[in-house]
Amino acid sequence: MFLQLGWRNIWRNRRRTLVILTAVVIGVWSMIFLGALMRGIADQFVRNGIATLTGHVQVHEKGYRSDPAVQNSIENPARVEAALTAVLPPDAQWVPRVRVSAIASNARHSTGVTMVGIDPPREAAVSFIGGAITEGRYLESDDPYGIVVGQALAERFDTHLGYKLILMSQDTEGEIASRAFRIVGVYRAEMEATEKQFVFVTLPAAQEMLRLSHGISEFVVLLAEHGEADHVADTLRAELPAAEYEVNTWQEILPMVSAIMKIYDWFIFLWFLVVFIAMGFGIVNTTLMAVFERIKEFGLLKALGMKPWWIVRGVLVESFCLLILGMAIGNAVGFLSVLVLSGTGIDLSALAAGMEYWGMSRVIYPHIVGQDVLMANLVVFILGLVVSLYPAVKAARFTPVEALAHT
Amino acid sequence: MAMVTCTKVKKAYQQDTVAVKALDGVSLSIKKGEFVAIAGPSGSGKTTLLNIIGGLDSADSGRIVVDGNVLNTMRQSQLAQLRLHKVGFVFQAYNLIPVLSAQENVEFVMLLQGVPPAERRERARAILDEVGLGGMYDRRPAELSGGQQQRVAVARSIVSDPSIVLADEPTANLDSKTGASLLEIMKQMNEKKQVTFIFSTHDQMVMDYARRLIQLKDGRIWEETVRKG
């Protein structure tokens, strides 16, 4: 009957209840929806980082990361390949790459780029490049002079499919190496900076140009889950001699992404608190008004023999009803709005330049994380009841005689 | 056996800087099953005396014993227990819980006492039938007349078999016919269940119904009448 009493009491002032209920619904919705949006941004941020040639785990020759020169390539890739084959889970993919800094030039322009020599079919399963071609075609395995460039670079160089692009770098003997490639494909990436930075050629073409023989700059592993990276890296470290090879996870290679993920965690929590504080004042105000309107009634309840604690409980039950109803509607609206937008995403290409600065994608897909939903609901529910304690205790403190005399 | 004993009970209220004596050394004894009216003009102290006997207010000095319990020495939680189990209240303004139906209002005290739902329902309906509200179980206070609401209040006060019912000017808001009918019901309850009834009133009709009339003036008992038969 206490629950029934609480439920009926909150509807005594229908308009006031609807106003505070709306505040709770909007609060919970904004916690869930904006939380999902932030998770979507963070998730996309990590995906972009991993898909933009980083992968989950990388293997390099010792010293390559501090000096990514062609001389620091892996000379004996068979050993690493054997370790990868032995250690990786069956659903993991790995690719070898040659990756060096180079100068790209045509008749009009020249700029610094990163030349990436890839095994085209295998690379397509690991990084973004396989699905990013917007003009022309992707590289083929036997494509000694084919090159794929980013759209932004092509525009900057005022060049097109079929045109030549000269790449110049330093070979293993310290001599200038150059080769003329013909543009076979143009790709688009999430970020313009990627399109300007990376040009792709086949692995044999890069090795030949740089006189690398079978040398490889890096092995990149893509796993089914982000969380497997540490374990796989540890296993690989155990397989490969530390004096010759370096094994790094994506968190180590992209420390800023890891840091931003942590910042997002805190940001979401702070967002929840800010929303709650605004909502909390509304809850206290409504409950206080409801209590002060019924002073005489509380006097009656005490006269009938209700203990102060029971009165506190009675007021809390009213807040409980309000919070549960608001949370149920807020969650439903939150899940529904995320569901609607998770398919199409939110296209923010109008803000692309500004967003790119922060490493964000053009399209954001909100992504609900169970832990965030749980935290949002717990924050609203627990803190909602905590702030209701003040009016509840006030109600319990009226003496029956004073309260019954109240008009 | 005395159900209520008050010995030299004093109570003063502070009004601004002046202390106003509400009770000035009241001593009385009321036996189990009595039907007593405490009468007097406004400000004579009758409501204060009723509140002190019911454990709603405390005396500045003196001793109050209700059904063997010395109220002066009891804590607030003990007084709440006493009110819950031994005292029924009927107020001038009915004071029903507006969001509960007549039956639920009557059940409420039993709910606090921990009576099982089926028994609560049965007892509430039986007492509502007794006070003439059979068939009105589901009506909320706003759907009942003043007299009907006060009958619900009487049913609520009596349903948990208290030792004593304290009624503060129960007929003040009722017309004379309705008031008489209500008093008749309370008298029947008093005779049937041997519950002690104490009224505060300045209604002559209530005084006429009472077997014993205690008149207060300026916080003191100045006349006491016992009607025979």
Residue A306 in contact with partner chain B when CB distance is under 8 A: yes
Average pLDDT of chain B is: 90
Which of A:133-152 have CB within 8 Å of B?
A: none
Interface test with A, best of B81, B108, B163 (most A CBs within 10 A): B108
Give me the DSSP letters along B9-71. EEEEEEETTEEEEEEEEEEEEEETT-EEEEE-STTSSHHHHHHHHTTSS--SEEEEEETTEEG
Q: Which residue of B has its CA nearest to A6?
A: B99
Q: What is the pLDDT of residue A355?
A: 56
CA distance to partner chain A, nearest, from residue B95 (Å): 7
Nearest to B111 among A1, A12, A401 (CB): A1
Please state the rounded mean pLDDT for residues B133-153. Answer: 92
- Subunit contact B85:A305, Cβ cutoff 8 A: yes
User: Which chain B residues contact residue A304 at CB under 8 A?
Assistant: 83-84, 89, 108-109, 112
Please state the rounded mean pLDDT for residues B147-158. Answer: 91
Taking 3-state DSSP, the helix, strand and coil percentages for chain A, each rounded to the nearest 5, stand at 60, 20, 25
Interface test with B, best of A311, A313, A404, A407 (most B CBs within 10 A): A404
- Subunit contact B83:A305, Cβ cutoff 8 A: yes
Interface test with A, best of B23, B81, B83, B152 (most A CBs within 10 A): B83
Q: What is the pLDDT of residue B66?
A: 93
Residue range A44-93, pLDDT digits in tens: 888 888 888 889 999 999 989 888 888 899 988 999 999 999 889 988 99
- Subunit contact A308:B95, Cβ cutoff 8 A: no
Interface test with A, best of B23, B97, B111 (most A CBs within 10 A): B97
Q: What is the pLDDT of residue A42?
A: 83
Burial A104-130 (b: 16+ CB within 10 A, else e): bbeeeeeeebbbbbbbbebbbebbbbb
User: Which chain A residues contact residue B87 at CB under 8 A?
Assistant: 305
Which of A:7-66 have CB within 8 Å of B?
A: 8-9, 12
CATH of the domain at B202: 3.40.50.300
Q: What is the pLDDT of residue A356?
A: 55
- Subunit contact B104:A310, Cβ cutoff 8 A: no
CA distance to partner chain A, nearest, from residue B93 (Å): 10
pTM of the predicted protein model: 0.74
CA distance to partner chain A, nearest, from residue B56 (Å): 6
Supply φ then ψ for residue B168, to 5 degrees.
-95, 105
Domain count, chain B: 1
Q: What is the pLDDT of residue A50?
A: 84
- Subunit contact A300:B81, Cβ cutoff 8 A: no
- Subunit contact A302:B80, Cβ cutoff 8 A: yes
Q: What is the pLDDT of residue A60?
A: 94
- Subunit contact B112:A401, Cβ cutoff 8 A: no
Cβ–Cβ under 8 Å, residues B50 and B201: no
User: Which chain A residues contact residue B107 at CB under 8 A?
Assistant: 1
Domain residue extents for chain A: 2-49+257-405, 57-222
Q: What is the pLDDT of residue A48?
A: 81
CA distance to partner chain A, nearest, from residue B118 (Å): 13
How many Å apart are CA A220 and CA A48, to the nearest integer?
A: 15
Residue pointed to by tokens 């009105």: B136
Long-range Cβ contact pairs of A231-240 (< 8 A, separation 24 or more) = A232/A56, A232/A57, A232/A87, A232/A88, A232/A89, A232/A92, A233/A57, A235/A87, A236/A57, A236/A59, A236/A83, A236/A84, A236/A87, A239/A83, A239/A86, A239/A87, A240/A59, A240/A79, A240/A80, A240/A83
The residue with greater pLDDT, A363 or B148, is: B148
The pLDDT tens digits along chain A (407 residues) read: 778 888 888 888 888 889 889 989 999 999 999 889 888 888 888 888 888 888 999 999 998 988 888 889 998 899 999 999 988 998 899 999 999 999 999 988 999 999 999 999 999 989 889 889 999 999 998 899 999 999 999 999 999 999 999 999 998 888 899 999 999 999 998 788 899 999 999 999 999 999 988 899 999 999 988 888 999 999 999 989 988 999 999 989 888 888 888 888 888 888 888 888 888 888 888 888 888 888 888 888 888 888 888 889 989 999 999 999 999 999 999 999 999 888 888 877 666 555 555 556 667 888 888 988 998 899 889 988 988 888 889 888 888 887 887 76
Q: Which residue of B has its CA nearest to A397?
A: B76
- Extract the tokens encoding A173: 């003997």
Please state the rounded mean pLDDT for residues B120-124. Answer: 94
CA distance to partner chain A, nearest, from residue B52 (Å): 10
Longest CA pairwise span in chain A (Å):
101
Range of the domain at B118: 2-226
Supply φ then ψ for residue A8, to 5 degrees.
-70, -35
- Subunit contact A306:B100, Cβ cutoff 8 A: no
- Subunit contact B109:A304, Cβ cutoff 8 A: yes
Q: Residue B130: which pLDDT band, with cuts at 50, 70 and 90? A: confident
Give me the DSSP letters along B64-124. EEETTEEGGG--HHHHHHHHHHHEEEE-TT----TTS-HHHHHHHHHHHHT--HHHHHHHH
Supply φ then ψ for residue B94, to 5 degrees.
65, -50
